[in-house]
Amino acid sequence: MEKFYLLKSWLAKKQPLIVFIKYLNYASKRSLEEKMERLDDLFKLAYGFAVSKIIFTSVKFGIYSKLSKCEKTASELAKELSLPERSFSRLLNSCTALGILKKRSGRYSNSPVAEEFLVEGKPEYFGFHLIALNERLYGPWGNLEEIIRKDEYHPSVDGKSDDIIKAVASTKEFARKAMMSQHNYSQQLAKDFANEADLSKCKRMLDVGGGTGIQGCLQQ
Report if residue 53 sits inside a domain: no
Cβ neighbours for 68, distance < 8 A, ≥ 6 positions apart: 110, 115, 119
Report if residue 55 sits inside a domain: no
The conformational region for residue 102 under phi > 0 = left, psi -120 to 50 = alpha, else beta, is beta
In the three-class reduction of DSSP (H, G, I as helix; E, B as strand; rest coil), residue 66 is classed as: helix
Asked if pLDDT for residue 198 goes beyond 80, the answer is no
176 and 210, same domain (yes or no): yes
What confidence category does residue 193 fall into, taking pLDDT thresholds of 50, 70 and 90? confident
104 and 153, same domain (yes or no): no
The answer to whether the beta carbons of residues 107 and 71 sit under 8 Å apart is yes
Structural domain that includes position 112:
60-116
107 and 149, same domain (yes or no): no
Cβ neighbours for 166, distance < 8 A, ≥ 6 positions apart: none
- Rounded distance between C-alpha atoms, residue 105 and residue 96, angstroms: 13
Report if residue 86 sits inside a domain: yes
163 and 191, same domain (yes or no): yes
Asked if pLDDT for residue 68 goes beyond 90, the answer is yes
- Rounded distance between C-alpha atoms, residue 108 and residue 71, angstroms: 5
40 and 64, same domain (yes or no): no
Report if residue 122 sits inside a domain: no
* pLDDT reported for residue 192: 75
Helices (H) and strands (E) in the chain, counts: 12, 3
- Phi, psi angles (nearest 5°) of residue 92: -60, -40
* pLDDT reported for residue 208: 66
Specify the number of domains making up the chain: 3
96 and 137, same domain (yes or no): no
* pLDDT reported for residue 12: 55
Q: Please indicate, yes or no, whether the overall pTM of this predicted structure exceeds 0.85.
A: no
Mean pLDDT within 163-190: 66
138 and 160, same domain (yes or no): yes
Report if residue 124 sits inside a domain: no
88 and 41, same domain (yes or no): no
